[in-house]
Structure 1
Amino acid sequence: MRVLVTGATGFVGYAVAARLCRDGHEVWGLARSGGRLPDRVGRIVGDVRDDAAVRAAFMQRFDAVCHLAALVRVRDSRADPVGYWRTNVGGTLAVLQALAAQGGPPARLVVASTCAVYGEPGAALITEDAPTQPTHPYGASKLAADRAVADLADTGVIGAVSLRAFNVAGGLPGHGDRDETRLVAKAVAVARGRAAELTVNGDGSVVRDYLHVADMADAFALALDACRPGHWTVYNVGCGRRSTIMDVVAAAEAVAGRRLPVRHLPPAAEPAELLADASRIRTELGWRPERSELRRIVADAYAADEEGEPAPHPAG
C-alpha cells in the first residue's frame, strides 16, 4: 500500500514509518520539521494545521494514512487550549477532508489516540467501554478527533481505527525520545548527565502502564490491515503491567549502573493508577507487547539516547 504517516519525524511516528517500510509498503512522511526520517521514507513538508498544505500532499493518492501529528503535553494544553484544539482537532479534520476528497476506493486510516480520553476512571483496568471523561484540553481534543474520524467512517469513505495509547517509551537504534516532560526520557537524561536531577511528585507510588515504542508501531501495522470500509474501531494499546515512578527510577539506575539524584515534590493532582485492558486488540488483531518489560524499555531508551539526535517538537 501507499501510506502517508503524519508526524513521521516524531518519536512514535518515526517508529511507525520504519515498521511500515519493513512490511513492504511505500511510505511517505508528512512533517513540518526537517527532522530525520527512516530510510526509504519519502518526505513531504507540511503542517497539518495548514489545509492547503494537506490538500497538496494528497495530490498523490494514498491508500492509507497513519495520523500521528499532534500536540501531546497535558500541562501545555491547559496553558494553550486553543492551540491544542487547532492542532489535534483541526489537523485531523484537514486529513479527513483530504481523504474524503481524493476519491477512489475507501482509504484506511489509523489514528494515534490516547488513554487521556478516559479522564480518571475508577476501574483498575481500563477497557474501551469506559466512559470518556477527559479532564484537560489535550484529552478533550483527542476525543473530539476520534469522534470526527468515526463520523467520516460511518459514511463509508474510509475504514478507521483509533489506537488509545498508554505511556509509550523506549527507543529504536538511533532514535530515542528527547521529550523530557515524559518520565522515562527524563530519567535517561539524568542518567546520561544532561539533566541535574529527576523530580518526582509525592512518594513516587503513582502507577502507569509503560509500552515500548516498537510494540506501539506493531499495533499500527496490524490496525492498518484491519481497517474495514464504513467501520470505526477503537483499541487500547498497553501491556497492563503496574510500574510505579520509583520502579522507573530503579530500572534507570540498574541500566546506568549508578544512583540517580531524585528530588521529591508535593503530590500532584493526577490519577493514582492508569492501566490498560488491551484484551480487545490482543483477541481481534493478535497484537502482543513483546518488548514492554520495563527494564527493556528503559535500556532501549538509554541506548537510543546515546546514538540519536534531538527530537523535534512533539507535533512532529
Structure 2
Amino acid sequence: MKSKVAIGVDIGGSHITSAAVDISTLEIIPETTYSVKVNNKAAKEAILLNWSEAINKTLEHVSKEADVNIGFAIPGPFHYKTGLAKFEGNDKYENLYNASIPDELTKYIDAASVNMRFINDATAFGVGVSAMGKAKSYSKTVVVTLGTGFGSAFIKDGVPLVNSEDVPEGGCLWDKPFKDGIADDYFSTRWCIKRYFEVSSKQVHGVKEIAEANDAYSKQVFTEFGSNMAEFMIPFLQKFKQEIIVLGGNVSLAHEFFLPTLKQKINEAGLLVDFEISTLMEDAAIIGSAKLFVSDFWEHVKNDLPNL
C-alpha cells in the first residue's frame, strides 16, 4: 500500500464500516467503503471475522506492496495505546474482553504486514469534522455525539486535547457528574425513551418516534433535553472558549426540537458560539481514524491516547 493511503475503520455497536483514505488530502477514496453487520454479543472469533470482512473488502481496492496501515475509531472501555479491548459491563463486544486487537485481528486480515492504531470513536468523529466540515474554518471546536451514548471531543487546530487545563479530565464529558448520575445517563437515546415514557406512559423504541409524535409530551422531553445539556455544558464551554459546537449522532437528527433551547441557554450565559449539525456521520470517524497515520498528527496525539 502506498504510504499516502491508510484504512479508516469505524466500529459501531451493530456494524463496522471500512474505507481507504488518501491521508495527503483526507478524502475517502471512491468505491472503497464497505459496511458489514455485526452481532456484538457473538463469540470473539465471529466478531473478528465480521470486522475483517469489511476491511478485506476495502483492501481489495488498494495496493498491498508495503505495510497496510489501519486506524480504528472504536468505543471504550479500550486501551487505545496498546489495542487491548476492555469491554465489560457495557452490553456490547464483551466477548472481546482482554483481547489484543493487533494480535487477534491481524490473523484475519489479507495482508502480509499490518500496522494498527486506535482512537476513541467520538474523538475520531471530532477530528474528522474539524478536518472536513464547517469547523475546518475554526481553531477551537467542541464536538458532541448523541446516540446510544454521549461522546465528545475538544479540538484545537485539528488536534484533540486530552491533557490540557482548559478541558475536562480525559478530554471527555460522558463520565462527568450531572444531577443524579453522570452525563451519559442524560444525553443519550435511553434517557429520551425513559423520559418520554415517564411523561406520556407511551413506550417507544427510539428518538425518531418521539420526534415524529410531535406532541406536547415530545416537546417537553426535547425542551428538558436542551435545557439539561446547556446546564451541564456551560461551565466547560466557559473554560474552553470554543468558537463552534458540532453535533453528530442519531439524536442530533432531532436537533430542530432541542437545539433552540440549547442555543438560548448558552447565549443567556454570555457565550457567543456557532453551531453545526454534522451530516458526515461515519465518514468523519473513518477520516479521523485514518489521520492517525499522518505523521505530524500522530506525534501530537500518540502520548495522550487514553487507557479507558
Same fold (TM over 0.5): no
TM-score, normalising length: structure 2: 0.34
Q: Which has the larger share of helix?
A: 2
Give TM-score scaled by structure 1 length: 0.34
